[in-house]
Amino acid sequence: MGAEEDDDFARSPPPGSPPLLSEEQLLHLARQGWLSLPLPQNLLKTVANLFKSSARFFELTNREKAVLYPSKSGTEFGFYTVPNEKEYITFRCRIHTGYQPRLSSPQLPLVQNLEDYAAKAWQEGALLLWRILCDITRWSGLDLSIWNDILDGTQTMPDSEKQLPYTLLRVFRYSPATGFAEKHTDLGLLTICIGDRGGLEVLDRLKSTDDRPVWIDSRTGPHTATILVGQTLKALSNGMLSPGIHRVVENPSGRNSVVFALRHSPKHAVDFSLFGGHGLVSAKDLWKFIQVGKVNINSIKERRDAQRARHEAERLAAGDHQGWDVCRG
């Protein structure tokens, strides 16, 4: 899409018959910070293809994956792995299929396919979240034009690092029985999470207390997405929208997921007066402010070590038990 098309995207309501969400769903999203939704057919098909393409990528050696997508900015760019737990790739732009592809090898078709489906999931995910932002805006009695600058350049995956946004798309592969992520909230406006198996849990704010948090399965599956409110949208709404607290628990069969995080554009300052607040904040300063409360998606070392020890003990116990059964037989 060119610059003119990008501008039209931000200024025109998204296609489809608004509203996408009912008032009951909007109230649930505002109070809880999360909402489960059936996936549109086009995004469902794209994510299925992205899972297939990423499976081929994850089968490469760690060295090959790290060379193809070197990690940068912590976990905000490229390939990253936590041994015996999970591995994931973070896209913030095209690397091998943009203006200047960096790869000339037999792996080029693989990464071209991966990036094409990632870019398609990015665009379709952005459109879905834009529709939800439109519903929130109308529900709040505000004008849709408040998003013109905030969403500028966020709806398509850039062709190079020269256009690097805060928005990102991640593809995860969690290991069977051991893959997890600590409870956290996301940094951006809205996030869409799509998994092929259970494991994503969300906090029920209405039933939880400080001493007794109530976690519920988000009911994510191949046909369902979980929408999460991020810290930036909380700030813009002056706390009227709660951020979605979530975590990933171990799944015996492992888990694959796609996460698209829509974040504010780095191109323009953010005018809080458009949202009923006060002041003009640069995009960079807003990003720094939001990051102060950032929680790493990787778990703390103590829990990781304890989990690995437990997993190893269970594995050894299972091995001993199998041997005992064989002897009995």
Q: What pLDDT, on the 0 to 100 scale, is given for residue 291?
A: 80
Cis peptide before 19 (omega within 30 of 0): yes
Q: Is residue 80 part of a domain?
A: yes
Residue 7 confidence (pLDDT) above 60: no
Inside any domain, residue 239: yes
> CATH no. for residue 157?
2.60.120.330
Roughly how many angstroms between the first and final C-alpha of the chain, as a whole number?
66
DSSP H or E stretch at residue 131: helix 108-139
Considering only CA atoms, which of 116, 62, 111 is closest in space to residue 87?
62
Which two tokens mark 155? 């709806």
Q: What is the pLDDT of residue 247?
A: 92
Residue 316 has pLDDT above 60, yes or no: no
Radius of gyration of the chain (CA): 21
Residue type present at position 140: S
CA-to-CA distance for 95 and 143, rounded, in angstroms?
36
Q: How many residues does the chain have?
A: 329
Residue 218 has pLDDT above 80, yes or no: yes
Alpha-carbon separation of residue 118 from 66, 129, 251, 293, 329 (angstroms): 18, 16, 24, 28, 51
Distance of alpha carbon 222 from alpha carbon 283, whole angstroms: 35
- The answer as to whether 17 is a domain residue is no
Whether 39 is covered by a domain: the verdict is yes
**Residue type present at position 185:** T
Tell me if 198 is assigned to some domain: yes
Contacts of 228 (CB under 8 A, 6+ apart): 33, 34, 185, 186, 190, 191, 192, 193, 202, 243, 244, 246
**Cα-flanking dihedrals φ and ψ of residue 169, to 5°?**
-130, 130
How many domains, in total, are found in the chain?
1
The verdict on residue 194 lying in a domain is yes
Q: Under DSSP, is residue 101 helix (H, G, I), strand (E, B) or coil?
A: coil
**C-alpha to C-alpha distance for 47 and 194, rounded to whole angstroms:** 8
Check residue 103 and give its pLDDT.
60
Please give the structure tokens belonging to residue 64. 């090959």
Q: Is residue 321 part of a domain?
A: no
Sign of CA dihedral 17, 22, 27, 33: negative
Q: String of b and e for 209-248 (b: at least 16 CB within 10 Å)?
A: eeeeeeeeebebeeebbbbbbbbbbbbbbeeebbbbbbbb
Per-residue pLDDT reduced to its tens digit, 131-179: 999 999 999 999 999 999 999 999 999 998 888 999 999 999 999 988 7
pTM of the entire predicted model: 0.84
SS3 9: helix
Q: By percentage, how much of the chain surpasses pLDDT 70?
A: 79
Given strand 215-217, what is the order of strands in its sheet?
A: 181-184, 246-248, 200-203, 215-217
Question: Per the domain annotation, does 10 fall within a domain?
Answer: no
Range of the domain at 112: 23-308
Statement: residue 324 has pLDDT above 80: no
pLDDT tens digits along 9-49 = 444 555 555 678 999 999 999 999 999 999 999 999 999 99
- 30, 116, 203, 277 from 215: Cα distances, Å: 18, 35, 5, 33
Kindly tell me if the per-residue pLDDT of 221 is higher than 80. Answer: no
How far is residue 74's CA from residue 282's CA, in Å, rounded to a whole number? 23
